[in-house]
A = this chain, B = another copy of it.
Amino acid sequence: MTEALPEAPNVNRATCPSRIVLEHVTSRWGILVLAALLERSYRFSELRREIGGVSEKMLAQTLQTLERDGFLNRDAKPVIPPRVDYSLTPMGREAAEQVWGLAHWVERRLPAVEEARDAYDEARAS
């Protein structure tokens, strides 16, 4: 990546529609949904437990947005009690891989980040 940079993405202009999609994918819960579904498909409440800390409302909203953007398949089986499975579309899998790479990178670098923070904070504890 250090070599190329063919052309920079246009996300750095206020009116760019890519920003919207980027925000869907990188939203607080969007990232976590995509990362979870990379492993396997999940049912609604399963996903809710797996992610942890997400309200029903936000999970539903996130899932709808990602489904509309073409990242998720929503498979509602007409049974009682209702059962709905969510899985990644091929495009969603690509997105999830990008996001997962980022998340994993962050995790690996977490110690360095905490070190940097300590240095930063101490330098101003004058």
User: Which A residues are closer than 8 A to B by beta carbons?
Assistant: 1-2, 5, 8-14, 17-18, 21-23, 25-26, 28, 31-32, 35-36, 38-39, 50-53, 67-70, 91, 93-95, 97-107, 109-110, 112-117, 119-121
Query: Considering the chains assembled together, what is the distance between the CA atoms of A68 and B35 in angstroms?
Result: 26
Q: How many copies does the complex hold?
A: 2
Given contacts A1-B100, A8-B35, A12-B51, 18 further A-B contacts (CB under 8 A): A1-B101, A2-B93, A5-B38, A8-B39, A9-B35, A11-B31, A11-B103, A13-B52, A21-B106, A21-B109, A22-B31, A23-B28, A26-B31, A68-B117, A70-B113, A91-B113, A94-B109, A99-B102
